[in-house]
Structures are given as structure tokens and as C-alpha cells.
Amino acid sequence: MIFAYLGDIHASRHQTAGRKTDLDEAVSATRLAISISTADNPMSTTLLNNLGNLLLRRYNNHTSHEDDLHQALEYVLRPGDFLQRKREQKHAPSVLATLGAIRACLYDRMGDVRDLEEAILKTRDSIRLAADSAITTRGTLFNNLGSLLCRRYQLTGKGEDQDESIVSFVRALECFPEDTREMVTCLINSSLVLTQRYGRTGQLDDLGSALHYT
């Protein structure tokens, strides 16, 4: 599928150069690939998920247009029926991860707690199904879950959310190589949440762990 490959090329070039025009071209080419794809095409789920990711990337990096978010959600929800087929289940972790990321952005944009709950649910499901995924992919999912649980803790004040967020960040740390940007992000997140929990519980171990991660 020439349009699918063209979309991948433009998406890769955007990751390298950061030009919005490349991302726009990637979105357009992937839309075309979907429009001429049949329902039983084995690439359908991947194309829909890719387009959702591209629209989410464009929202986060360039436009902040709410329409990009809603379109991303629309496209990524489509594979739901496909994922019931055995041959498509290998795509479930990535589709669920994308859904979680989109719902998180919608929560940040609109403030609807239902989006936050869905983001947490989908990210949990993605982790559960991603046992065979690359270890750094699992690290990103654990880090995302930790961040989402922190946000819910800020809303509810429930200590279990804060506790689980720390566990998630620690699991993420186990997945990333040292001296990488992802590792640094997880270290900062872990230190911040441990410091906050120390403020809630007064446990000196949390303060010591926070200093260790700093």
C-alpha cells in the first residue's frame, strides 16, 4: 500500500526534523490509505491506530486544535470490533495505549473526569496485554499510568492512587536504560511523588527514596 508507506516516511521525517508539513503529509497519506483499504485488510487496525497517533502528535506538537483530538479518538475507536478477531489481538496493546493517551489529553483539555478514568482503564489494559512488548514500551506505559494516577490523586486525595503511582514509576524505572531521557523523566516523577507522599504520611523512608532518585 503505497499511501501507507508514504505516511510512514513522512512520519519518520517529522520525528527527525520536526516540521509540521511532514506531519500534515503523513496524516493525509494515511487517510488515503484508510479510504482505499477494505474491511478485511490485515493492515486496517494498524492504519487506524497510526492515524490516531499522528493526529495526537499534531495536537501535542503543533496545533492544539481540539478537532485533531476528537478525530484521533474516532479513528482509534474503530478497531474495537477488529480486536475481537484472533489475528488482530496482537494490535490490542498499542491500540489501547493510544486510546489512553488520547483520553488523557481530552481530560487535560476538557476537564471531564470520565476521560481520566478511561485513560487509566485503557492504560492498565494495555500494560496487562503488553507482556511480550519491548521493555521500553512497557516502561512508557508504566510511566503514563503513574502520571494518570497522580492526576486522579490530586482530584480525590485517595492515598491508594498515590501509592500505586509510585509503584508504577518504579516499574517504569526498571524498564529504561540509564542516562536516557525517559529514565530522567521517571526519576523526576518518582522523586516528586515520593516527596508528596512524605508530606501526607511523614514516612522518612519516602524522603530518603526521593533524595536517592533526585
Going along the chain from its start, the domains and CATH numbers come out as: 1-131 (1.25.40.10), 134-214 (1.25.40)
- In this prediction, residue 78 carries a pLDDT of 86
The contacts of residue 23 (CB under 8 Å, 6+ apart) are 10, 11, 14, 54, 57, 58, 61, 62
Q: How many Å apart are CA 15 and CA 17, to the nearest integer?
A: 6
Instruction: Find the distance separating the first CA and the last CA of the chain, reported in whole Å.
Output: 48
pTM of the model: 0.89
Question: With contact defined as beta carbons under 8 Å apart, do 136 and 183 qualify?
Answer: no
- Of the pLDDT bands very low, low, confident and very high (cuts 50, 70, 90), residue 9 is very high
Ranking 30-34, 75-79, 124-128, 137-141 by mean pLDDT, the lowest is: 75-79
Model confidence over 78-124: pLDDT tens digits?
876 555 554 556 778 999 999 999 999 999 999 999 999 999 999 99
- Taking phi over 0 as left and psi of -120 to 50 as alpha, with beta for the rest, 64 belongs to left
pLDDT tens, position by position, 12-24: 999 999 999 999 9
Query: What is the Cα–Cα distance from 169 to 127, expressed in whole angstroms?
Result: 13
